[in-house]
Structure 1
Amino acid sequence: MKLQPDQSDVQTITGYGPGWVGVGGEKITHNVVIGSRGERFAWAAGFDALGVADFEALAQLQVEVVIFGSGPRIRFPHPAWVAPLAMRRIGIETMDTAAACRTYNILAQEGREVAVALLLETAP
């Protein structure tokens, strides 16, 4: 039996590395939100600058789950920051940025309404 790769119209991450992520043919070098419904926008100045307003912007997407890629290592957001997501019953998962890219692709390919918020910092 011949197998064909799944065809999908969702926005996927095609590559990533220290300080960048690829979406289609574009290389993005700033912190970014990518959504399975085509959303894409610049996001947050960095982990130390995060606050409630940054996560409120994610809550406005009204997705099932947000994946937070916190950079080259796992750093958890303050509970007060993610309150806008909790109030809308939107799940949030925190992982390093590389794992967040892979997880986002899997969920997006499954047809889930998902967004990934990526901090594209390089390791010190």
Structure 2
Amino acid sequence: MKLHVDNNPSLKLFTSHGDGYVAVNLERYTTHLLVLPDRVEPDWTRHDFAALEQQDFAHLAACGAEIVLLGTGPRLRFPHPSLQQPLMAAGIGLEVMDTAAACRTYNILASEGRKVAAALLIDTP
């Protein structure tokens, strides 16, 4: 699915997504990644969903966002509440959704100038 591109070339936005990939500013990624309005961090975690650790969420808490969108792949899955402790302690909101919804929501919030991060788990088909 193609997504609308903002006119600000320095803003990191999702330009497409599909089975096993997302594209940010037309660059394709096939591994887990963290996207913020000013940067992309490939491989923000080396774990799949079932193996996520509190350390992964501590990394998200330190990224400078006010809200983190966790894209859990093609289907919605909720992480154990204990994993979210670093985000709660930092006062950072967490929204969990499938990856396609996370891409769309991130683009809207980033285009509005919000301090948002999209932490995506990319499942290999």
TM-score (norm 1): 0.89
Q: Is 1:26 the equivalent of 2:45?
A: no
Residue 24 of structure 1 deviates from its aligned partner by 1.5
2-structure distance, mates of 1:42, 1:97: 15
Residue 101 of structure 1 deviates from its aligned partner by 0.4
Partner of 1:41: 42
Residue 41 of structure 1 deviates from its aligned partner by 2.9
Deviations along 1:3-40, whole A, 9 cap, x unmatched? Answer: xx852231001100011000123110001111112242
2-structure distance, mates of 1:110, 1:82: 26
- The verdict on how the C-alpha distance between 1:17 and 1:89 changes in structure 2, with shifts beyond 3 A counting, is same
Query: Which residue, 92, 106, 109 being the options, matches 1:107?
Result: 109
Identity of aligned residues (%): 46
Divergent runs of 4+, >6 A: none
Tell me the C-alpha RMSD between the 2 structures.
Answer: 1.5
How many residues are matched? 119
- 5+ unaligned residues in a row in structure 2: which ranges? none
Partner of 1:7: 7
Q: Flag the structure with larger Rg.
A: 1
- 5+ unaligned residues in a row in structure 1: which ranges? none
TM-score (norm 2): 0.89
- The verdict on how the C-alpha distance between 1:6 and 1:122 changes in structure 2, with shifts beyond 3 A counting, is closer
